[in-house]
Structure 1
Amino acid sequence: MRKWLFWLILPLMVGCQLGAPDQNAPLPILGEFEVVNGDTIYHTIRDFSFINQDSQEVNNQTFAGKAYVVDFFFISCPTICPKVKKQMLRLYERFKDEDKLVLLSHTIDTEHDTIPRLKKFATDLGVGLPQWQFVTGVKDSIYGIANDYFSIAQEDPNAPGGFDHSGRLILVDPQRRVRAFCDGTDPKSVDQFMEDVERLLGEMK
C-alpha cells in the first residue's frame, strides 16, 4: 500500500476500530505492505536504542516475545499529556501482572526530560520497571521512530509547550507490527483499545 494512501484511509481505520469488532477475529495488521513472491510483507518498527529511567538501554530485544503499548509525551506538557498519562495508568493497572505486555513512553523533550527527571516522573506516578519504560535518547531518533508508529513528534515553537505531538496510544505485536491504536485523551477510545490489547494477548497464547 502506498504511504499516501495509508494516511488517507487511516481515519477510516480508526473509525472501524471504534465499532463493535468480532472478538474472535485477529486484530488487523496496520500500515504499508507489499506482496513479494506471494508473501505479504508488512510494515514493521525499525531497530531502536534508547535509555530508560534507570539508565538501562531499551531496544527491540527488550520486547522480544512481548507486545507493547507506545506513546510520546513530555513532562512539562501543558495540554494533552496529563490526560494521556491518566489513561496509560489505566492500562498499567489492568495489565501490570501480564508479563507479555510492556508500556513504552518516549519523551520528545530530550533536552529537559533527563534520566533523573524521568525517574522522578515514573516514581510520582507510582509505576516502575519492567512494566513501564520511560525513555529518552537522540532527538532525531525519537522523532523519526514516531513516524513508524503513525504518530507525530516534533518541535513547534507555535504549539503549547513548544512541541507538536499526538495523543495516540499504539499497540505493537512481538513481530514489531502495529496492530491497533486509539485516542489516548478519550476514555471510551481507550476502553476499546484495552479490548484490542486483550485480543492480541489472546493471539499470543
Structure 2
Amino acid sequence: MKLNLKTCIGALTLSATFFACSGTSEKKLPIIGERETEERIVDGKTVVDTIYHQIPAFIFLNQDSVEITDKDFDNKVYVANFFFTHCPSICPTMQRNLLKVYEKYKDDERVAFLSHSIDFKYDSPSVLKSYAQKLGVTNKQWQFVTGEKKDIYGIADQYLVYTKEDEDAPGGYDHQSYLVLIDPQKRIRGAYDGTNDEQVAQLFDDLQILLKEQ
C-alpha cells in the first residue's frame, strides 16, 4: 500500500501519547515515513543503522524565475505544502494560516517555507510572484515554485501528500491541505491540516520543539 500522511496520523497521535506518558522532559517529534535497516561492521561488531525516508534532491523554478534546489534548504527547518493560485476551496485558508507561521519566524534564518504549485499550466513565475506579494510575503524566506507536472506531482509523493489533476474538483485540481514539517536532514517530522486552527497551533508548538532539537 502506498504510504501517505493520512495513514500516518494515527502514528503521530501514538507518538505524542508516548512522550506525554513516559515522563521524559525533552519531547521529540516522530520521524514519519517508511524506514529501512542497514548493517555495518564497526570494530568487529555488527551495528544496525535505521535509514529514514528523506525528501530527495529537486530543482524547481521560483517566483523570481530563479532555480531553487534542495540545497537551498540545507541546515534549515522548513514547512512545505501544495497549492494553486486560483484555488477556490482550501488554499486561501491554508495559505493564510501558513502566513501566520511565516510572520512569526520572518527573518529567522533557521526557518524556511516552500509552496509548490500543482497548476503547471497557469501558475508561471510571474503569477506566483503576484500571488506572493498579495499574500504579504516580503522576503526570500518563503519560496513559491513551479515545474513540470511529473516533477511537482512526484515530489508531492515524497512529502506523502496526495495531489491530482481532476476536472471534477474545485479549480480542476484535487489535493490535501497538509503543512509538512521537515528537519535539516530532510526528514518529515510532522503534518498539519492547514485549514484546521488546532492543528496549525500544533505546528507552532512542534516547530519550537524541532528547533530546540537541532
Query: What is the CA–CA distance in structure 2 between the aligned matches of 1:111 and 1:164, rounded to whole Å?
Result: 15
Partner residue, 2:208? 198
Q: Deviations over 1:13-62 (max 9, x none)?
A: 34447769657222111100011110000001111000111111111110
2:99 pairs with 1:89: yes
- Kindly provide the amino acid, as one letter, of the partner of residue 195 in structure 1: D
Mark the structure with the bigger radius of gyration: 2
- Alignment correspondent of 2:148: 138
RMSD, aligned α-carbons: 2.0
2:102 is paired with a residue of what secondary structure? helix
CA distance in 2: counterparts of 1:68 and 1:169, whole angstroms: 10
* Structure 2 residue 145 is matched with structure 1 residue 147: no
Given residue 104 of structure 1, which amino acid in structure 2 is its aligned partner?
A: L
1:62 maps to 2:64: no
| Matches for 1:13-52 after TM superposition, within 5 Å | 13-16=11-14, 22=20, 24-37=26-39, 38-52=48-62
TM-score using structure 1 length: 0.92
Q: Does 1:79 align with 2:77?
A: no
**Alignment: residue pair count:** 202
Following the alignment from structure 2 to structure 1, what is the Cα–Cα distance between the partners of residues 84 and 172? 10
Unaligned runs of 5+ in 2: 40-47
Residue 12 of structure 1, CA deviation: 0.6
Find the partner of 2:63 among 49, 53, 77: 53
Paired residue secondary structure (1:24): coil
Whether 1:180 aligns to 2:190 is yes
- In the alignment, the residues of structure 2 paired with residue 169 and residue 94 of structure 1 have an alpha-carbon distance, to the nearest angstrom, of 16
| Counterpart position of 1:12 | 10
CA displacement 1:128-159 (0-9 Å, x = unmatched):
33210000011110001111111011101111
Name the residue aligned to 1:167.
177
**Partner Cα separation in structure 1 for residue 208 and residue 166 of structure 2:** 36
Distance in 1 separating the partners of 2:132 and 2:3:
38
CA distance in 2, matches of 1:18, 1:78: 34
Question: Contact 1:14 / 1:182 at 8 angstroms: preserved in 2?
Answer: no
Structure 1 unaligned regions, length at least 5: none
Q: Partner amino acid for 2:72?
A: T
2:166 alignment partner in structure 1: 156
1:103 to partner: Cα distance: 0.6
Counterpart of 1:11, as a letter, is I
* Alpha-carbon displacement from aligned partner over 1:151-201 (angstroms, at most 9, x marks no partner): 011101111111110100000111110001111100110101111111111
Quick one: distance in 2 between partners of 1:95 and 1:171? Answer: 14
Partner of 1:112: 122
Contact 1:51/1:137 (<8 A) preserved = yes
TM-score, reference length from structure 2: 0.88
Secondary structure at 2:153 match in 1: helix
Q: CA deviation at 1:65?
A: 0.7
